[in-house]
Amino acid sequence: MQMDALIKSYIYVISSSLLYPVLVLLALLTLWIIVCGGSIFSEWVGRHRVETRSIHEITELFSASEHTRYTRYRVGQYVILLKKILEEKEPSPLEVECHLQKSTRRLISSLDIYRLVVRVGPGLGLIGTLIPMGTGLAALGQGDLSMLSSELVIAFTTTVVGLAVGLCAFLFLVVKSRWVDEDILEMEAATEALAQAIEQTHASGLKLLGEEAA
C-alpha cells in the first residue's frame, strides 16, 4: 500500500509540474504563429510582385542578368549560385544534380517545423486541459467551487490555444508546401536550361577551335 501511494504521489507531482512548462510553450507557440504569419504575408506580397510568366518563358530568361525580375527570391538566389558554379569550373552532371538535390532538400526540410507544430500544438493543449481538470475535480470533492472554476478556465483556454496553434500551423504548411513545389519546379527548369546553355557554349567553342586549326 505504501508503494502504491508513493507511485501515485510521484505521478501526481510529475503531472502537476508539467502545467507551467506547457503554458509557457503554448505562449511561445502563439508568438511563433504571429511571427510566421507576418513572414508568410511578406513572402506572399513579394511573390505576387514578380511578373507572371509561364515556366517556358522563364526558362529562356534564366541566362539573362535580369532573371530575378521573373523568378521568386529563393529561385533567383539558386540561379545566381548555380551560375557561379557553372562559370568557375566545368562541373559534371552529377555535381549539378547534387547541388539541385541539396537545394530542394533544404526547401523541403524548411517545412518540418510546421509539421511539428501541427502535432505539438493540440498535444500541448490536451495536456494543459487534463492537468487542471484533475486539480479541479479534487477541489470539487472538497467543495471548493472557486478553485474548480479557475481550473476549468485554464483547462478550456489551453485547449482553444492548442487547437488554434495547430490549425494556423496547418494552414501555413499548406501554403508553404505549394510555394515550395513551385520553387522546386523552377529550380529544376533553371538547372536544365543553364546546363544546356553551358554545353552549347562549350560545343560552339570547340567547333570554332576546330575550324581555326583546320
**Predicted local confidence at residue 16, as pLDDT:** 80
User: What one-letter code names the amino acid at 58?
Assistant: I
Which cell is 195 given? 546546363
Q: What's the whole-number mean pLDDT along residues 30-51?
A: 86
Write the DSSP assignment of 167-189 as a string of letters.
HHHHHHHHHHHHHHHHHHHHHHH
Which pLDDT score, from 0 to 100, does residue 213 have?
A: 47
> What is the pTM (predicted TM-score) of this model?
0.78
Q: What share of the chain is helix, strand, coil (3-state, %, to 5)?
A: 90, 0, 10
Question: What's the pLDDT tens digit per position in 179-200?
Answer: 998 888 888 877 777 766 555 5
User: Could you give the residue ranges of the DSSP H alpha helices within the chain?
Assistant: 2-17, 19-49, 55-61, 73-88, 93-109, 112-141, 145-213
Predicted local confidence at residue 131, as pLDDT: 85
State pLDDT tens for residues 51-101.
665 555 555 555 555 555 666 777 777 777 777 777 766 666 777 778 788
For the beta carbon of residue 181, count every other beta carbon within 10 angstroms. Answer: 12
Tally of CB atoms within 10 A around 102: 10
Which pLDDT belongs to residue 69? Answer: 60
pLDDT of residue 198: 57
13-21 CB contacts, 8 Å cutoff, 24+ apart: 15/131, 15/134, 16/131, 16/135, 18/127, 18/131, 19/128, 19/131, 19/132, 19/154
d(CA 191, CA 58): 12
- Smallest Cα–Cα separation from 23: which of 149, 126, 158, 156? 158
By the 10 Å C-beta count (0-12 exposed, 13-18 middle, 19+ buried), 79 is classed as buried
> Is 58 within 8 Å of 189 (Cβ atoms)?
yes
Give yes or no for a contact between 62 and 193, defined as CB atoms under 8 angstroms apart.
yes
List the grid coordinates of 25.
510553450
Q: Kindly report, residue by residue over 118-173, the tens digit of the pLDDT.
A: 999 999 999 988 888 877 777 777 776 777 788 888 888 999 999 999 999 999 99
Please report where in the chains the cell 514578380 appears, as a residue.
Answer: 50
Query: For 51, which DSSP code?
Result: P
Q: Read off the pLDDT band of 24 (50, 70, 90).
A: very high
